[in-house]
Amino acid sequence: MAELDLTFVDRVVAEMGRRPEATIPILQALQDHYRYLPAEALRRVCDITEITPARIAGVSTFYNQFRHRPMGRHLISICHGTACHVKGSRPVHDALLRHLKITEHEDTDADGVFTVQKVACLGCCTLAPVLQIDGITYGHLTIDRLPRVLEDFLQLSATGAAAAQRERPTGSREGWGEIRIGMGSCCVARGSGGVQEALERAVERLGVRAIVKRVGCVGMCHQTPLVEVLAPGRSAAMYAQVQAEDAEAIVRRHFPAAGLGRRLRGAIERSLDVILTDEAWEPVTRYTIEVRDPPVAAFLGRQQHLATEYCGHIDPIDLDEYLAHGGFQMLEECLRKRSPAEIIETVRASGLRGRGGAGYLTGRKWEQVRAAAGSPKYIICNGDEGDPGAFMDRMILESYPYRVIEGMAIAAHAVGAEEGVFYIRAEYPLAVRRVGEALRLCKERGVIGDNLFGTGRRLNLRIMQGAGAFVCGEETALLASIEGRRGMPRLRPPYPAVEGLWAKPTLVNNVETYALVPWILRSGAAAFAAMGTGTSKGTKVFALAGKIARGGLIEVPMGVTLREIVEEIGGGIAGGKRFKAVQVGGPSGGCVPAELADTPVDYEALTAAGAIMGSGGLVVLDESDCMVDVARYFLEFTQDQSCGKCTPCRIGTRRMLDILERLVAGDGRKGDLEELEHLARFIQKASLCGLGKTAPNPVLSTLRYFRSEYEAHLEKRCPAGRCKQLVKYTISDECIGCTLCAQHCPSDAIPMTPYEKHVIDQDKCIRCDTCKQVCPVHAVCTA
């Protein structure tokens, strides 16, 4: 093997510094460069910095992002988030490994082209199941489509089309029309980038007076790519599920072509189009939707946009536009006119509670940081949204970076902090880019920096990227991570408000919490408190995904019931199945059954129902979902993400998972359910941090509402027909003998018998679900 070029290490160290807190950024840079962490490079880092071998070994083996062995040329990250899980990510993952002939204990194919890794959640839940290859996202995967996905990617990467998107504001022009296109990560994954380019080309070619404007997430993920057209003097029109080839037709429909020559040419082309491609209009017309359409009205009707204000209207990183919509006015006013005490009083009176999960009163936390002795004080934005099935914070950071910055800056002023950190998951590259760009522009304009709005006040913010550890969402673990250590929580008290980053008073709030602050100060505490319930005020952003007809990102007033969310906003269950439960709050939350769907969105009511508000993931489950499997799924997640410090979480969750794995395999024993409860109670009681204390919730809530399903598994039955080891695949008389199943079966369990009913050899069947997915007449049954 050729000797490794270590000059890159020296360059990185020169840039990042030699202090121990630079450990994670240095490792991230090395991993980017070498695609893994060669031992020689790590030793070199220890030689030329203050970072010890113990530190570098501990940190580099703690975070999922870091690899210690070489990686294939392309990295496939396959999402195992909740929505992906219930939509079959496991069989897809298995099929991918089979397709690439990657054996157990390996993660890279023999040719070193693809490395496959499992990721906790890519936050594209409405596209489930999802995978990402080198930053390009593919959604709605089926076993069948996998080979085409890989081919498509290899083609893209060969042509260089996979290069990074640009991040610059589009701007606006007086009197011109706007063609808005949502460009959140999910939209991009569904092809918004191509549509945007096609629209730009069409506008350019037709010379129309319109600007193609990238806007943030519109929330209607089920309709993306979503294009909204605002032509001067005409009402807005919205087009859903737009394809690149629809672009020109859309532009023409709303804007007259400019200039005689162009207009003429356009007219000729238009007539040609009408004649030649009459059908081409079909998709556009079919997908045209308007706000007054019942489904759209239902989706948007209950929503109230506070954290997501100007949803679908503004360019995420256009600072001028944010300013034009009243952005940063509140910050300036706070800096100039409002005392910290006044600000804190407003936040307190609004009743705002932390949106990260635990729901601590924000005003009280600010007061504690304000009152704490010690300086400097720090401010942290917790953007380490790791819950599988949740993508609210990603969307807010991607779509409204300025709003979060403003909220943070107001908070910093209120608590007396001059230094701060955005801690954002590395899995959210677009959010990192946009916040980075937004911070740069803010500094340029003096909105943040050493002299805010010329008032002489300071606030410096920087971004730290998480390195793949769910537990870093826990505030003490997050602080350890910023300090360049393993993200292991510590006992509280002392709370970060008193002893936080570098043992100084530190305010840690979640993305959504900060995003609500400007609205509250502008509209007043009373306006915010007027929304919601007795103890839960204002609005809450939810990621609605799973077996729902209209998934997406929604912001609703507190007090709305789960049923209203599922049935009105989400349009009920997709595919005519029966609504079974909503998983609320991810791995710390629980499953609220359909019978209790009238539970309001309220911190206390959700807790009483066995769930938690959590950060806002809502995964809807239908009758085909097995609740024991869902519980097992979450325990597998927490077990995988446990930091390993305290006994209850490290070993206790493993023992719970052991039992659940036995149950889904039909090997359950008498007393298993009681043992699950015993372990659950102990883990809740004795775990060190919130991750551990809440880890048993998914099991307890399903045991509470779906105990009969557990009992069925003890008798080796899976009523939902979901648990692989307990189901049998058979082919019914509906079979038309098309041979598709036989062609696709990876284990040759189905003999090819054209025009005859096919039969599955049970001994050979590996229950991969492929036949069921490819059968055109739903003749494959599971029981």
Partner 1 sequence: MPKLVIDNREVEVAAGATILDAARKLGIGIPTLCHLDGCTPSTSCMVCVVKLKNLGRVVPSCGTRAEDGMQIESETDEIRDARRAALELLLSDHPGDCLGPCQLVCPAHMDIPRMLRQIAAGHPADAAATARDALVLPATLGRICPAPCEKGCRRAQHDVGLAIRLCHRHVADAELASGVRLPTCKPATGKRVALIGAGPAGLAAAWHLLGEGHACTVFDAHPEPGGMLRYSIPAETLPRDVLDAEIAAIARLGAEFRMGMRIGRDIHLADLQKEFDAVLVASGAPKDGHAATISPEPSPPPIEVDRRTWQTSVRGLFAGGEVVHKHRMAVRAVADGAAAARSVSLYLAGLPITEPQRPFSTRLYMTTHEEMARLVAGASAAMRIDPTGGEAAGFTPDEARREAPRCLHCDCRKADVCRLRQVSAALGASPSRYHGTRRPFEQDLRHARIVYEPGKCIVCGLCLQVAERAGEPLGLALLGRGFNVRVGAPLADSMADGLRISAAECVRACPTGALAFKDE
Footprint of partner 1 (CB under 8 A):
39, 42-43, 46, 52-58, 61-62, 469, 486, 490-491, 493, 639-648, 650-652, 654-655, 658-659, 678-679, 682, 685-688
Query: CB of residue 434 vs partner 1: minimum separation in angstroms?
Result: 30
Structure tokens at 24: 């994670």
DSSP type of residue 564: I
Query: CB of residue 513 vs partner 1: minimum separation in angstroms?
Result: 25
User: With respect to partner 1, which residue has the nearer C-beta, 164 or 491?
Assistant: 491
Structure tokens at 584: 């609320």
187: exposed, middle or buried (Cβ count in 10 Å: 0-12, 13-18, 19+): buried
State the Cα torsion 525-526-531-536 to the nearest 10°.
Answer: 60
Query: CB of residue 357 vs partner 1: minimum separation in angstroms?
Result: 18
| Strand pairing report for 378-383 and 506-510 | parallel
Confirm if 427 and 123 have CB atoms less than 8 A apart.
yes
Q: What is the CA radius of gyration of the chain?
A: 27
User: With respect to partner 1, which residue has the nearer C-beta, 31 or 308?
Assistant: 31
Query: CB of residue 118 vs partner 1: minimum separation in angstroms?
Result: 14
User: With respect to partner 1, which residue has the nearer C-beta, 676 or 760?
Assistant: 676
Task: Return all residues near 530 (Cβ < 8 A) that are at least 6 apart.
Answer: none
User: With respect to partner 1, which residue has the nearer C-beta, 235 or 647?
Assistant: 647
615: exposed, middle or buried (Cβ count in 10 Å: 0-12, 13-18, 19+): buried
How distant is the alpha carbon of residue 559 from its chain centre?
Answer: 24
User: What are the C-alpha distances in Å from 542 to residues 244, 402, 588?
Assistant: 30, 20, 15
User: With respect to partner 1, which residue has the nearer C-beta, 80 or 87?
Assistant: 80
Query: CB of residue 62 vs partner 1: minimum separation in angstroms?
Result: 5
E-state strands within 99-146: 114-119, 131-133, 136-138
User: With respect to partner 1, which residue has the nearer C-beta, 58 or 295?
Assistant: 58
- Which of 743, 740, 709, 742 has the alpha carbon at shortest distance from 726? 709
Q: Is the dihedral of CA 294, 309, 383, 586 positive or negative?
A: negative
Task: Return all residues near 576 (Cβ < 8 A) that are at least 6 apart.
Answer: none
User: With respect to partner 1, which residue has the nearer C-beta, 260 or 491?
Assistant: 491
User: With respect to partner 1, which residue has the nearer C-beta, 246 or 474?
Assistant: 474
User: With respect to partner 1, which residue has the nearer C-beta, 172 or 368?
Assistant: 368
User: With respect to partner 1, which residue has the nearer C-beta, 42 or 461?
Assistant: 42
User: With respect to partner 1, which residue has the nearer C-beta, 448 or 628?
Assistant: 628
**Rounded to the nearest 5°, which phi and psi values hold at 651?**
-100, -35
Residues 363-381 as b or e (16 or more Cβ within 10 Å = b) = bebbbbbbebeeeebbbbb
**Rounded to the nearest 5°, which phi and psi values hold at 734?**
-65, -15
- Say how many Å lie between the first and final Cα of the chain, rounded: 53
Query: CB of residue 358 vs partner 1: minimum separation in angstroms?
Result: 14
Neighbours of 693 (CB within 10 A): 17
Query: CB of residue 108 vs partner 1: minimum separation in angstroms?
Result: 20
Confirm if 541 and 615 have CB atoms less than 8 A apart.
no
53-60 and 39-48 helices, crossing angle to 10°: 140
User: With respect to partner 1, which residue has the nearer C-beta, 42 or 410?
Assistant: 42
Query: CB of residue 431 vs partner 1: minimum separation in angstroms?
Result: 24
Q: Is the dihedral of CA 78, 83, 87, 90 positive or negative?
A: positive
Task: Return all residues near 720 (Cβ < 8 A) that are at least 6 apart.
Answer: 623, 624, 625, 626, 627, 629, 709
Query: CB of residue 700 vs partner 1: minimum separation in angstroms?
Result: 16
Structure tokens at 45: 């880092």
User: With respect to partner 1, which residue has the nearer C-beta, 646 or 735?
Assistant: 646
Query: CB of residue 488 vs partner 1: minimum separation in angstroms?
Result: 8
Query: CB of residue 12 vs partner 1: minimum separation in angstroms?
Result: 18
How distant is the alpha carbon of residue 256 from its chain centre?
Answer: 40
Query: CB of residue 687 vs partner 1: minimum separation in angstroms?
Result: 8
Query: CB of residue 501 vs partner 1: minimum separation in angstroms?
Result: 18
Task: Give the separation between CA 378 and CA 480, rounded to whole angstroms.
Answer: 14
Q: What share of the chain is helix, strand, coil (3-state, %, to 5)?
A: 45, 15, 40
| Strand pairing report for 131-133 and 136-138 | antiparallel
Query: CB of residue 493 vs partner 1: minimum separation in angstroms?
Result: 8
User: With respect to partner 1, which residue has the nearer C-beta, 57 or 162?
Assistant: 57
Length of the chain: 783
DSSP characters for 174-195?
TT-EEEEEE-SHHHHHTTHHHH
| Strand pairing report for 780-782 and 114-119 | unpaired
Query: CB of residue 644 vs partner 1: minimum separation in angstroms?
Result: 3
User: With respect to partner 1, which residue has the nearer C-beta, 345 or 661?
Assistant: 661
Confirm if 677 and 703 have CB atoms less than 8 A apart.
yes
User: With respect to partner 1, which residue has the nearer C-beta, 58 or 524?
Assistant: 58
User: With respect to partner 1, which residue has the nearer C-beta, 413 or 486?
Assistant: 486
| Strand pairing report for 539-546 and 552-557 | antiparallel
Task: Give the separation between CA 519 and CA 521, rounded to whole angstroms.
Answer: 6
Query: CB of residue 647 vs partner 1: minimum separation in angstroms?
Result: 5
How distant is the alpha carbon of residue 566 from its chain centre?
Answer: 19
Confirm if 481 and 474 have CB atoms less than 8 A apart.
no
Query: CB of residue 382 vs partner 1: minimum separation in angstroms?
Result: 20
Confirm if 257 and 231 have CB atoms less than 8 A apart.
no
* Amino acid (one-letter) located at 679: L
Query: CB of residue 684 vs partner 1: minimum separation in angstroms?
Result: 9
- Which of 71, 70, 41 has the alpha carbon at shortest distance from 57? 41
User: With respect to partner 1, which residue has the nearer C-beta, 271 or 647?
Assistant: 647
